[in-house]
Structure 1
Amino acid sequence: MLLFLMRRLMQGLIVMFVISIISFSIQDNLGDPLRELVGMSVSEAERDALRDEMGLNDPFLTQYARFMGNALQGDLGQSYFFKEPALDVILAKMPATLELVFAASLIIILISVPAGVYCAIKPDSWLTKLILGFSILGISVPVFLTAIFSIYFFSIELGWLPSYGRGDVVPVFGGLETSLLTRDGLSHLILPAISLASIMLPLFIRLIRSEMSEVLHTEYVKFARAKGLKKARIYFLHALKNTMLPVITVGGVQIGTMVAYTILTETVFQWPGMGFLFLEAVNRVDTPLIVAYLIVVGAIFVVVNTLVDLLYGLINPTVRLARSGQ
């Protein structure tokens, strides 16, 4: 397991190196950052002098080497707009995004597991057909349309839930704040979390249903039935455990994907997270902030996938034996 972890860490470092190159190389195509830093009255000569001072006229390799040298020390650049370290700006917004992803993941787990298992156990029931029909609809509808519809229906027409913002927050530890512990914060979280979950929920329902249906036709499940074990024990102890192995793998990838999907959700609901910050950085051509965001999201992907691989090995003894023999 230790050897596997070291190998995964090396792969993660290679992935982060590639992400840093791609992220840094696209900044020249985003526009002129001086457009937001200086006014129209500044002469071209003054602009060139400022570019030289900021190192924007240096060759790409020189700029990238300087960036990597600073990045290895935890410095991903200075935000042009906020006049603060880009990493600090992103980390200040990260709790709101992770809070939204956590709430959406909780909704997905609580709904997809029982719904997927039920659809596998009773494939011909009317409720199964209804669930699968809604799952097809959920896959087809973009997340921003779901968000707009939920705002119109639950906020404008019914007036039940707020339509934007994060609500009241309370400090927890290390200066971090959360809205999960306040009633107003939870009311603000419901619609964004449901909208974000809507894009992944149908996928997990259909995945669990497919895997569960396959497991129910295996020999060991038939043997468990022949032994007279209770159906609940067969379904939720023996079958579900093996069903969840591929679901965990897919889930790890989708958690990282949800972090990227928060861009749309946070924009519609004005949720003060990393995704909303990223769009503002694009509009302002705040290239250090854009590059830092892409690297942070890439790091989240790498860390989550590494943890999922380790969890998969802990759950599945066959994987551990296979790795030990390598």
Structure 2
Amino acid sequence: MFRYASARIAQTVVVLLAIAFIGFLLVSNLGDPLASLLPPDATPQDRAALIATLHLDQPVAMRFLTFLKGLLVGDFGISYRSHEPVAALIWERLPATVELAFASLAITLLVGVPLGVYCGIRPRSALAKAVMFVSIAGVTLPTFVVGILLIAVFSVKLGLLPSFGRGQTVDLGFWKTGLLTASGWRALVLPAITLSLFQVTFVIRMIRTQLMEVGHSEFIRFARARGVEARRIWFVHALKNTLLPVITVLALQFGNIIAFSVVTENVFAWPGLGSLFLQSIQTADMPVISVYLIIIGAIFMMLNLLVELSYPLIDQRVLRERA
């Protein structure tokens, strides 16, 4: 187990370094920090001081090491657009995106997993066919179309839920949350449903396919021949053999929720990292763009590492096959 875990951690570290290097190249080669950060009446002394502050007078290797050190201690540089520390901008928007992501993941798990299991166990039932038919819409409709339709129905026509913003928030000092207010929960509903729709339909189809495939395997047929109860066959034997791909997909879907929240946050004017990323692209704010991409890459890699480390706990055969 130690050898297996060490190899996976080493691979993750190498990929994270590669992601950090790509982010460093974006900041180093795109945009002009001096023109963006210095006022028009800046003196040569101001210019020299900024060059020293940004370490632009150092060799590339030293600048990359300085960049890595900054990432480790939370110093992400200065925004070209607002002239504020990037870390402050990220931390200000992070709670909104995290709460939206976890709400979407909760909907995905509570809706997608049970329906996927049902459709896999009873694929010919009327409910399963109806679910699979409706799921086509979730796969094919673009996220922004879903968001606009929900706004048109529940905000404009029915007036039940807000169409933009995060609602009233409570500042806990280290975290600004909307989960402690009624308006915060109401504002969360439509964006969370919009962001989770594709994930729900994807999970339903994936679990259904896995269960149907396992259901035709030899050990399931043998269990049926021995007279094992159907519920035990599906919920003990079949589900256990679908856990590896299911856990992998669910973990990566959580990464997708965060990474692809850009469109949803833009539709609902949700003040999260996605909307910050779009604003940064419009103004070519390379430090913010770079840090956002590094954060998303790090989230995917850490989720992948956690999934890889959980494999041996689910199936000991992984240690023999992958170590």
TM-score calculated relative to the size of structure 1 = 0.86
Task: Measure, in 1, the Cα distance between the counterparts of 2:221 and 2:127.
Answer: 25
Residues 18-29 of structure 1 aligned to structure 2 (within 5 Å): 18-27=18-27
Maintained 8 Å contact 2:37/2:83:
no
Maintained 8 Å contact 1:253/1:301:
yes
C-alpha spacing 1:56/1:263, structure 2 compared with 1 (3 Å): farther
For residue 222 of structure 1, report the CA deviation from its aligned partner.
2.5
Q: Deviations over 1:181-208 (max 9, x none)?
A: 3322111111111111112222111110
Please name the residue that 1:67 is paired with. 67
Task: Measure, in 1, the Cα distance between the counterparts of 2:30 and 2:193.
Answer: 32
C-alpha spacing 1:146/1:291, structure 2 compared with 1 (3 Å): same
Task: Measure, in 2, the Cα distance between the counterparts of 1:210 and 1:314.
Answer: 24
Please name the residue that 2:268 is paired with. 269
What amino acid is aligned across from residue 233 of structure 1 in structure 2?
Answer: R
How many residues in Structure 1 have an aligned counterpart in Structure 2?
322
Q: Deviations over 1:234-284 (max 9, x none)?
A: 222322222232111122222212211011111111111111111122223
For residue 96 of structure 1, report the CA deviation from its aligned partner.
1.6
Please name the residue that 1:11 is paired with. 11
Gapped runs of 5+ residues in structure 1? none
Question: 3-state DSSP class of the match of 1:238?
Answer: helix
Please name the residue that 2:80 is paired with. 80
What amino acid is aligned across from residue 13 of structure 1 in structure 2?
Answer: V
Question: 3-state DSSP class of the match of 1:246?
Answer: helix
Task: Measure, in 1, the Cα distance between the counterparts of 2:74 and 2:214.
Answer: 47
Maintained 8 Å contact 2:4/2:319:
no
Residues 282-297 of structure 1 aligned to structure 2 (within 5 Å): 282-297=281-296
Maintained 8 Å contact 1:260/1:297:
yes
Is 1:260 the equivalent of 2:289?
Answer: no
> Aligned residues: percent identity?
43
Maintained 8 Å contact 1:36/1:284:
no
Please name the residue that 1:116 is paired with. 116
Q: Deviations over 1:1-37 (max 9, x none)?
A: 2332222222112111111222222346754456654
Q: Which moved more, 1:111-120 or 1:205-214?
A: 111-120
C-alpha spacing 1:49/1:177, structure 2 compared with 1 (3 Å): closer
Q: Deviations over 1:98-140 (max 9, x none)?
A: 1111111111111122222222222223332222222222111
Maintained 8 Å contact 2:38/2:47:
no
Task: Measure, in 2, the Cα distance between the counterparts of 1:219 and 1:250.
Answer: 25
Maintained 8 Å contact 1:195/1:265:
yes
Task: Measure, in 1, the Cα distance between the counterparts of 2:233 and 2:302.
Answer: 34
Please name the residue that 2:95 is paired with. 95
Task: Measure, in 1, the Cα distance between the counterparts of 2:230 and 2:288.
Answer: 54
Maintained 8 Å contact 1:37/1:80:
yes
Please name the residue that 1:126 is paired with. 126
TM-score calculated relative to the size of structure 2 = 0.87
What amino acid is aligned across from residue 200 of structure 1 in structure 2?
Answer: Q
C-alpha spacing 1:286/1:58, structure 2 compared with 1 (3 Å): farther
Q: CA RMSD in A?
A: 2.8
What amino acid is aligned across from residue 137 of structure 1 in structure 2?
Answer: A
Q: Deviations over 1:65-102 (max 9, x none)?
A: 44234334442212234444322321332222111111
What amino acid is aligned across from residue 271 of structure 2 in structure 1?
Answer: P
What amino acid is aligned across from residue 124 of structure 2 in structure 1?
Answer: D
Task: Measure, in 2, the Cα distance between the counterparts of 1:210 and 1:112.
Answer: 13
Please name the residue that 1:241 is paired with. 240
Please name the residue that 1:220 is paired with. 219
Question: 3-state DSSP class of the match of 1:199?
Answer: helix
Task: Measure, in 1, the Cα distance between the counterparts of 2:130 and 2:150.
Answer: 21
Q: Which moved more, 1:268-277 or 1:81-90?
A: 81-90
What amino acid is aligned across from residue 157 of structure 1 in structure 2?
Answer: K
C-alpha spacing 1:46/1:265, structure 2 compared with 1 (3 Å): farther
Residues 175-254 of structure 1 aligned to structure 2 (within 5 Å): 175-254=174-253
Task: Measure, in 2, the Cα distance between the counterparts of 1:192 and 1:178.
Answer: 16
Maintained 8 Å contact 2:8/2:305:
yes
Maintained 8 Å contact 2:34/2:47:
no
For residue 217 of structure 1, report the CA deviation from its aligned partner.
1.5
Q: 4+ residue stretches of structure 1 with deviation over 6 A?
A: 43-51
Task: Measure, in 2, the Cα distance between the counterparts of 1:238 and 1:219.
Answer: 12
